[in-house]
Chain A
Amino acid sequence: MELHKQLEHDLVDMTMIQALRSAMDVMLERDNNVVVFGQDVGYFGGVFRCTEGLQAKHGKTRVFDAPISEGGIVGAAVGMAAYGLRPVVEIQFADYFYPATDQIVSEAARLRYRSAGEFTAPVTIRMPCGGGIFGGQTHSQSPEAFFTHVSGIRTVMPSNPYDAKGLLIASIENNDPVIFLEPKRLYNGPFDGHHDRPIVPWSKHEKGKVPSGYYTIELDKAAIVRPGEALTVLTYGTMVHVALEAAQASGIDAEVIDLRTLWPVDLDTIVASVRKTGRCVIVHEATQTSGFGAELTTLVQEHCFYHLEAPIERVAGWDIPYPHVHEWHYFPSPQRVQDAYRRALGSVPTADNGRTGGQ
Chain B
Amino acid sequence: MRQTPALRLHVPEPSGRPGQPTDFSYLHLQPAGAAAKPPLDVSARDTTDIAYGLVRVLDDDGNAVGPWAQDLPPELLRQAMLAMIKTRVFDTRMVNAQRQKKMSFYTQSLGEEAIGVAQAMVLNKGDMCFPSYRQQNLLITQGVSLVDMMCQLFSNEKDRLKGRQLPVLYSVRDAGFFSLSGNLGTQMIQAVGWAMASAIKNDTSIASAWIGDGATAAADFQTALTFAHVYQAPVILNVVNNQWAISSFQAIAGGENNSFAARGVGSGIVSVRADGNDFITAYEVAKWAAERARANLGPTLIEWVSYRAGPHSTSDDPSKYRPADDWSHFPLGDPIARLKQHMIKRGVWSDADHEEAEKAALEEVMAAQKEAEAFGTMADDQVRSAASMFDDVYEHTPWHLQHQRQQAGV
Contact = CB atoms under 8 A, between A and B. Distances in A.
A107 B197 contact: no
A264 B398 contact: yes
Interface string A277-314: 00000000000000000000000000000000000000
Nearest to A120: B395
Contact of A71 (B162, B171, B219, B398): B219
A78 B190 contact: yes
A176 B223 contact: no
B393 A152 contact: yes
A176 B401 CA distance: 15
B130 interface: yes
Contacts of A264: 394, 398-400
A74 to B, nearest CB: 9
Contact of A114 (B179, B192, B199, B219): B179
A266 to B, nearest CB: 9
A126 B194 CA distance: 20
A120 B197 CA distance: 15
Given A69-B227, A77-B193, A176-B394, A116 B171 contact: yes
Contacts of B230: 67
Nearest to B229: A67
Given A112-B392, A175-B395, A80 B179 contact: no
B336 interface: no
B399 A115 contact: no
A99 B219 CA distance: 9
B164 A113 contact: yes
A111 B197 contact: no
Nearest to A75: B189
Contacts of A76: 189-190, 192-193, 196, 227
A61 B173 CA distance: 26
A73 to B, nearest CB: 9
Contacts of A114: 161, 164-165, 169, 171, 179, 181
Interface in A108-125: 110-120
A267 B401 CA distance: 13
A221 B399 CA distance: 12
Interface string A195-238: 00000000000000000000000001000000000000000000
Given A79-B192, A79-B194, A85-B197, A151 B393 contact: yes
A252 B63 CA distance: 90
Nearest to B235: A79
A107 B393 contact: no
Given A79-B192, A82-B190, A118-B171, A67 B227 contact: yes
Given A71-B219, A72-B223, A76-B189, A119 B395 contact: no
Contacts of B399: 264, 267
Contact of A115 (B171, B188, B219, B394): B171
The winner among B190, B192, B201 for most chain A CB atoms within 10 A is B190
Contacts of A154: 394
B191 interface: yes
A113 B219 CA distance: 24
Contacts of B169: 114
Nearest to A153: B394
Given A67-B226, A118-B179, A75 B395 contact: no
B401 to A, nearest CB: 8
A84 interface: yes
Contact of A112 (B226, B227, B395): B395
B181 A79 contact: no
Given A119-B178, A120-B395, A176-B394, A102 B186 contact: yes
A114 B182 CA distance: 10
Given A79-B190, A79-B194, A118 B400 contact: no
B203 to A, nearest CB: 8
A107 B200 contact: no
A206 B161 CA distance: 49
Contacts of A75: 186, 188-190, 192-193, 220, 223-224
Nearest to A267: B399
A62 to B, nearest CB: 8
A35 interface: yes
Given A61-B200, A115-B179, A119-B178, A78 B193 contact: yes
A116 B179 CA distance: 10
Contacts of A112: 392-395
Contacts of A113: 164, 392-393
A248 interface: no
Contacts of A137: none
A194 B137 CA distance: 64
A71 B223 contact: yes
Contact of A111 (B161, B162, B179): B179
Given A107-B181, A107-B186, A80 B223 contact: no
B223 A69 contact: yes
B253 to A, nearest CB: 18
A107 B196 contact: no
A114 B178 CA distance: 11
Given A76-B190, A116-B161, A83 B198 contact: yes
Contacts of B195: 79
A103 interface: yes
Contacts of B257: none
A159 B276 CA distance: 56
Contacts of B130: 79
A320 B323 CA distance: 52
The winner among A69, A102, A106, A115 for most chain B CB atoms within 10 A is A115
B192 A71 contact: no
Given A71-B223, A79-B191, A220 B398 contact: yes
A61 B232 CA distance: 13
Nearest to B218: A102
Contact of A82 (B162, B194, B199): B194
Contacts of B398: 220, 264
Nearest to A68: B226
A84 B197 contact: yes
Contacts of A71: 189, 219-220, 223
Interface in A160-182: 174-176
A80 B196 contact: yes
Contacts of B181: 106-107, 110, 114
Given A79-B191, A114-B161, A115-B179, 9 more contacts: A35-B197, A69-B223, A72-B224, A72-B226, A75-B220, A76-B192, A79-B196, A113-B392, A115-B161
**What 4 pairs between A and B have smallest CB-CB spacing?**
A79-B193, A76-B193, A75-B189, A79-B190
23 contacts: A61-B200, A69-B226, A72-B220, A75-B186, A76-B190, A79-B189, A79-B190, A79-B193, A79-B207, A83-B194, A83-B198, A83-B201, A85-B197, A102-B183, A113-B393, A114-B161, A117-B392, A118-B160, A118-B173, A118-B179, A119-B173, A152-B393, A267-B400
Interface of A: 35, 61-62, 66-67, 69, 71-72, 75-80, 82-85, 99, 102-103, 106-107, 110-120, 151-152, 154, 174-176, 220, 264, 267
